[in-house]
Every structure is written in structure tokens, then in C-alpha cells.
Amino acid sequence: MENMAKFDFWQRHANPASGWSRVATAPFFAVTLWFVNFGPYTWIPFVIIIIWAIINPMIFRKPKKMDRWISKGVLAEQWWIQKMKGKLIVDYTMLCNIFALLAFIPSLVIAFLPWGVKSGSDLKWAYVFCSTISVLFKLWFVDRVVFQYDINRIEQKKQD
């Protein structure tokens, strides 16, 4: 039963509307994170974005086709995670993930600086740059993992 629930989750997660709305959430996440320590109620929009990211895959239905890039990206990421289980394979896709994380860390540091420090400086441009680079590396990861996934599917068909 648990495997069926996971399968259903991944199928819903692969809906293009779910995938692209998660991508579109990234700028809102960055903006709400920037203002998170501005005042006592500024956590509310940030929490709403986090809740949206959690429930997003559950509110969309399974797509009719899985041939769209974003749908294949979700399936490919699931395949990649299974392939990586118990192993540390540093390949191009792993490097994209590492670079996305390395770009995101300065964003977090800047976001949680005291408001007076970050508002009176040019840190907002560093924040925007790092946040953007992080998202671009994540999209690059998805592109590369879809490429690997497609190659794997072709090889599987040749073996059958």
C-alpha cells in the first residue's frame, strides 16, 4: 500500500501544472525569505509558500501523458534517486545539485542578516544573484537527469 501511495504521489508530482507552478514559486520564496525577519508577521507569507510547496503535488491529478519535459523531470529525478541509493556518484547531475546548494547557502545567510545590515547595502543584488543561480542550476539538473533518464529508457528497450 505504501508503494502505491508513493507511486501516486510521484504521478501527481509529474503533472506539468504542478511542476511549473513549483518553478514559479521560486521568486515568491526568495522575496518572502528576504523579508522574513523584517517584523513579527513577516513569517506568514514565508509559511504560506512552504505550505504551498508541500501540498502542491497532492492537489494536482495525474497527467494524461508523461512525455512533457517537466513530467519527465519528476520521473527522472525519482529514477536518479533510486540509482544513487547507497552510492556516491559524482557526475554532472550531482554537480548541478551541489552548485545549486552552494548558490543557495549565501542566500540563506543574507536573508537572515539583521534588517539594518541588509537593507542599507548592496546585499540585495547578491541575494537576487545567488537565488537566481540556485534556481538555474536546479533546472539544469532537471535537464541533465532527463537526458540520462531518456538514455536509460532507450538502453532498456534495446535489452528487451
The rounded mean pLDDT for the chain is 89
Q: State residue 5's pLDDT score.
A: 59
d(CA 57, CA 31): 22
Cβ proximity of 18 and 56 under 8 Å: yes
C-beta pairs of 20-27 under 8 Å, 24+ apart in sequence: 20/70, 21/56, 22/53, 22/56, 23/70, 23/135, 23/139, 25/49, 25/52, 25/53, 25/56, 26/131, 26/135
Please give the pLDDT value at position 13: 86
pTM of the predicted protein model: 0.85
pLDDT, tens only, 88-108: 888 888 999 999 999 999 999
**Could you give the number of structural domains in the chain?**
1
For 105-154, how does the pLDDT look when each residue is reduced to its tens digit (9 = 90+)? 999 999 888 877 777 678 888 999 999 999 999 999 999 999 999 999 99
Which residue segment(s) compose the domain that 59 sits in? 2-159
